[in-house]
Chains A and B, each alone.
Chain A
């Protein structure tokens, strides 16, 4: 039996769920979800606490931490990973990392065809990835997802170009604006297109994490890294910030702290 704590903070959604994987059953015992513009950092930790207490559990009961590692909004993404990594580090727990696009697609894993996940990347771009559902072999329920194309960032037109490579039914998933931006940029003329307006769900993350853990895809807290997919924007240098003296990593031991004498 594995008790799983799942955190979602990489997109517009901030949420948390706790669930139990036991034999061929994954039971989500409590979950919370909010659409929040920029208060992920305020909401996530209280949600973890609330979800645990609703499930009548404590953090020491948890066996596994799962987190959405993006791509998504950089700030929320870091809130989620910092929280997950610190919880896992603090309790010496393994972690499962999933991408936001896989988490989106997972909700539609029974779709017979290509599942295309779309996540807002701002600046007129989208994060996108392509998956296919297959029948699952292990004990965790449902189908599993094959990654046909890993997450990328591009213009809506790039998505259209990418999609033209895949013959057959396609399902576009994401929030309405993003799905709309891709559709309005040119409806794909080969293959049936379906659309679904969905957000990554922490409850889905519990089930996906159970599958991944069963397949041995677990990591250490220190191995949680965000999927940024873009280099940092360096045109925003704070030229007004002055930093003194310490150029390299230095460690000060208590007994080594000396008061400077003034000449």
Chain B
């Protein structure tokens, strides 16, 4: 049986309109990401996002195909994110993906965005050893996942309240920084003392679940009591606490499972302190680690095409009446 090789991926789950052509799930021929700016609203506005996706999607797909020098008749499948994410935003990409599969008579593959984030690793390192443990951290998600094989996932733990990226954004707001707050905190923290304030490490000792809302509250309380603490010190100390929890639990998960490698994924994986500590901790316990490049951490469609390619091989195509699922969990 010959496996499909060229997959067009489509990603519209949040505020990035993206398309990509990937060969054999590993080689990116083109990947175009058109990002919306929602900074003036202090967060992603679902209706604004949905409108922008509809305007951007076909131009982005067209640019992707031209850049990949790929004609529709060379494609083997269309993969689109169908969850989790903003329902209106997801529907734009899913509808266009289904229609293109009809127009070009190709299989349609409905891809879980979270699976996509893990596949970002395979795009740059096709030989990541499995089983692997992935720490998936973004604005919407904070989870530890064991991936035993392609299509075989086990959720080890996740946040009980705020996502890590959410905590970064909320703390950035407390510090009067712009949106999104993650990159700003990352930058300021390099100029601050991470030991200046000893913020709590919530749930550090127990299990694989996370909790970040208490940490954010601790920062708020500290700022109320000590308004003169330098912004740099607060940013560095908060970041140290958050990273501490994330890395400690990832390492614990790796040690308690028969893990071959540790993978970092999701938008917060672009944080330089998290990358540094994650790599260091993996080295300490002698487990191979993989950090996707920053452009592969944030939302893109190459990861969707890569995940879709594997899914097609394992499960086959998805029906055209597949519903988008805004709260699709990790389990396949």
The answer to whether A238 touches B91, judged by C-beta atoms less than 8 angstroms apart, is no
**Across the interface, do A242 and B51 meet the contact criterion of CB distance under 8 Å?**
no
Query: Which residues of chain A in 56-96 are interfacial with respect to chain B, using CB atoms and an 8 Å cutoff?
Result: 59, 74-75, 78-79, 81-87, 89-91
- A46: which B residues are within 8 A, CB to CB? 319-321
Q: How far is the CB of B254 from chain A (nearest CB, A)?
A: 18
| B209 close to chain A: CB less than 8 A | no
Whether B94 contacts A234 by the Cβ 8 Å rule is no
Say whether, besides A82-B54, A253-B67, A237 and B38 are in contact (CB < 8 Å). yes
Cβ of A88 to closest chain B Cβ, rounded Å: 8
Instruction: Find out whether the CB atom of A44 lies under 8 angstroms from the CB atom of B67.
Output: no
> Bound complex: CA of A260 vs CA of B298, how far in Å?
14
Q: How far is the CA of A254 from the CA of B299 in the complex (A)?
A: 16
B72 within 8 A of A: yes
A250 interface residue, CB < 8 Å from B? yes
- Is B226 an interface residue when CB atoms closer than 8 A count as contact? no
Pick the residue among A82, A91, A253, A262 that contacts B96 (CB under 8 A). A82
User: In the assembled complex, which residues on chain A have CB atoms less than 8 Å from the CB atom of B92?
Assistant: 78-79, 82
Which of A46, A90, A228, A242 has the most B CB atoms < 10 Å from its CB?
Answer: A242
Give the complex CA separation of A250 and B37 in angstroms. 14
> In the complex the two chains form, is B42's CB within 8 Å of A49's CB?
no
- Please state if B295 and A257 are interface contacts (CB–CB under 8 Å): yes
Q: Would you call A237 and B41 a contact (CB within 8 A)?
A: yes
Q: What is the size, in residues, of chain B's interface with A at 8 Å between Cβ atoms? A: 94
**Cβ < 8 Å to A, chain B residues 6-57:** 14-16, 27-35, 37-38, 41-48, 50-51, 54-55, 57
B259-303 interface bits toward A, Cβ cutoff 8 Å, 1 = contact, 0 = none: 000000001101110011001000000000001111111111010
Interchain CA distance A234-B322 in the complex, whole Å: 29
A222 interface hit (Cβ, 8 Å): yes
Cβ 8 A contact of B293, one of A42, A241, A243, A259 = A259
* Cα(A166)–Cα(B125), bound, Å: 70
Q: How many residue pairs between the two chains, A and B, have CB atoms under 8 Å in the bound complex?
A: 238
| Chain A residues whose C-beta falls within 8 Å of the C-beta of B292 in the assembled complex | 259
Bound complex: CA A90 to CA B73 (Å):
10
Shortest CB-to-CB span from B87 to chain A, Å, is 7
Residue-wise, chain B 76-107 has the 8 Å CB interface mask toward A (1 for contact) of 00000000001110011111111110111100
Nearest CB on B from A60, distance (A)? 9
Which listed residue, A83, A234, A248, A251, touches B45 by the CB 8 Å rule? Answer: A234
Complex Cα distance, B177 from A233, in Å, reads: 24
Contact A244 B298 (CB under 8 A): yes
Write out the residue numbers on chain A whose beta carbons fall within 8 Å of the beta carbon of B270.
244-245
- CB–CB B104/A244 < 8 A: no
Query: In this assembly, does A39 line the interface, its C-beta being within 8 Å of a C-beta of chain B?
Result: yes
Asked if B59 is at the interface (CB within 8 A of a chain A CB), the reply is yes
Find A86's partner among B29, B91, B100 (CB 8 Å cutoff): B100
> Is A37 located at the chain interface by the 8 A CB criterion?
no
A156 to B291, CA, bound (A): 58
Query: In A199-229, which residues have CB < 8 Å from any B CB?
Result: 221-222, 225-226, 228
B35 touches A42 (CB 8 A): no
Q: Which residues from B are CB-within-8-Å of A228?
A: 51
The docked-state distance in angstroms from the alpha carbon of A75 to that of B86 is 11
5 A-B pairs with the lowest CB-CB distances in the bound complex, closest first: A90-B103, A242-B139, A242-B165, A86-B99, A232-B47
**6 sampled A-B residue pairs with Cβ under 8 A:** A79-B91, A82-B92, A82-B95, A90-B99, A240-B140, A257-B296
